[in-house]
Amino acid sequence: MPSCKNCQKEFTITDADRAFYHKMDVPEPTWCPQCRQIRRLMWRNEKSLYPDTCDLCGKNIISNLNPNRGYTVYCYDCWWSDKWNPLDYSFEFDWTKPFFPQFSELIKKIPQNAIFASRSVNCEYSNIIADCKNCYLSSGIRESEDVMYSRWIQSCRDSIDCSYIWNTELCYQAIQCFDCYGCFYIQNADNCHDCCLCFDCNGCSNCFGCVGLRNVNNFIFNQPATEEEYKNKLKEFLSGRDKFNKYQNEFEILKKTKPHAHCRAKKVINCDGDYLLNSKNCHDCYVIDGEEDCRFNDYANRSKDNYDATAFTDVENSYEVHSAFKNYSLIGTSICWYSNFVYYSYCCFNTQNCFGCAGFKKGKNSFFNKQYSEEEYLKIKEKIIAHMKKTGEWGEFLPPSICPFGFNETAAYYHYPFTRDQVLTYGWKWEDNLSGTFGQETIKQILENIDEVSENILKEILACQKCKKNYKILTQELKFYKKLGIPIPLMCPSCRFEARERKVNPRQLLARECMCDQPGHKHQDKCQNKFKTTYAPDRPEKVYCEECYQKEIY
């Protein structure tokens, strides 16, 4: 087995993997799957935003690039306008040098887009969103309205502090949920309404502190209750921090006594990973829907025949890709949409036959932002591939050394919370000057009962209980908390965000055996089924194979 060039751990390359690499004409990877995922995620800054000035029109803007890094940054309107031409930034390739350092110079020269917010209204403080309205400090959102402090949201309304939710409304602290309404502190829930502090519940209502229930009403800690008892328990839970912590601890104990599915999957065939929907022949994949013949992918929809791809939709026949939409045949790209046959490019849209391009809009047959005839381009393409094979760059993703962001600014930090020393040991970037203020708080004690909180809180500056960063409560936010009876949060949005991400299992599969020893499950003594799961062997949860889990839950 090869050893990872980055972390030195051994990893496996299968015959199916080799067949894919041969088809794509790339060498076998030198980094392990986990390090390759980290490398792609380092190109994805979702929530680290900074005040800046557009370098073209001069207006004040919010940017996802730290002004201290010295990039030229344009506001959204200027970047998409015809006031500048990407071809003006072209230069000749030096065949005596490696590709990546020269491509880095192009990225540094080309104007950067401050944020990515397509067809959205009143969403200036959100990044990577489309078709949204009134969204604040959120990212990875589509077709949603009145959403705050959330990530990876689709078709949702009136929700705060949520991650990975679809078709959901009036929810708070919801993680990986579908079609839910009026729920808070829930995870892995489908078709639930008016539920609180629940895990792995489907089709439930008026449930509190419950785990693994299906199609029930009025349950408290998995025991039947009346509607009045449910309302009283909820009121007590929200009455103060002591009660909140007490019931939270009881809930966590209950979670450890109930079986957990080794993989969260629906309507899949021959797949492994976690959070899988409507997919076939997908392995080592996470948060995917409508995928086929893929491996090492995450955050993907309606795509086919891809390896090592992150955050993409309607993509086919691609390798080592971050942020792609409606593409065919990409290699080593970051943020390339509506494009085909594009290689080692950054921030390109509506392009075809492009290699080593950045900031391109409607480009074709181009190399280093210089346009050629199709015949000339194809000759240069073969020559540069041969050059990159000699330098060991061909087949690798864009390196962290040329990335515009620090590790702790990006999505890599959500899933892999390395320390500053660890990051610098790897030779990656770390941002010491994140946005935010400290020590300017005007209030230290926050009332626990939201009914007692007045609008004066809107004038106050709070300090995060964990990181001490200052934050404020906004008008629409206060209305939301009062409507649901939720107390004012004691942590800043960033720390709340990171706390939610820690509740999602790591993106790594491990071999385990089913822990079921229940009689009547068609096995004697302990079940002998084996599987791959994101639950590490040293974790306390009872992890079941799919067959035993279905018999125990349904």
Nearest to 381 by CA among 408, 354, 421: 354
How far is residue 64 from each of residues 43, 183, 438, measured CA to CA in Å? 11, 31, 21
Alpha-carbon distance of 63 to 111, in angstroms, equals 12
Percent of the chain with pLDDT over 70: 100
Nearest to 347 by CA among 333, 368, 330: 333
Contacts of 124 (CB under 8 A, 6+ apart): 62, 115, 117
Alpha-carbon distance of 381 to 368, in angstroms, equals 11
Confidence of residue 190 (pLDDT cuts 50, 70, 90): very high
How do residues 355-382 score in pLDDT, each as one tens digit? 999 999 999 999 999 999 999 999 999 9
Question: β-strands 340-343, 133-136: how paired?
Answer: unpaired
Alpha-carbon distance of 447 to 456, in angstroms, equals 12
User: Is residue 52 scored above 80 in pLDDT?
Assistant: yes
Contacts of 538 (CB under 8 A, 6+ apart): none
Alpha-carbon distance of 395 to 38, in angstroms, equals 16
How do residues 254-294 score in pLDDT, each as one tens digit? 999 999 999 999 999 999 999 999 999 999 999 999 999 99
Alpha-carbon distance of 480 to 486, in angstroms, equals 8
The pLDDT, as a whole number, for residue 553 is 82
The pLDDT, as a whole number, for residue 511 is 95
- Are 264 and 272 in contact by the 8 Å Cβ rule? The answer is no
The pLDDT mean for the chain works out to 95
How do residues 16-43 score in pLDDT, each as one tens digit? 999 999 999 999 999 999 999 999 999 9
| Average confidence (pLDDT) over 190-205 | 97
How do residues 318-327 score in pLDDT, each as one tens digit? 999 999 999 9
Look up residue 260 and give its amino acid.
H
How far is residue 117 from each of residues 54, 121, 158, measured CA to CA in Å? 16, 9, 19
User: Is residue 47 scored above 90 in pLDDT?
Assistant: no
Contacts of 469 (CB under 8 A, 6+ apart): 436, 437, 438, 463, 492, 494, 495
Structure tokens at 184: 């808070």
Residue 394 half-sphere exposure, CB side, CA atoms within 13 Å? 17
- Are 163 and 139 in contact by the 8 Å Cβ rule? The answer is no
| Average confidence (pLDDT) over 208-222 | 97
The pLDDT, as a whole number, for residue 519 is 80
Which of 520 and 501 is assigned the larger pLDDT? 501
How do residues 384-440 score in pLDDT, each as one tens digit? 999 999 999 999 999 999 999 999 999 999 889 999 999 999 999 999 999 999 999
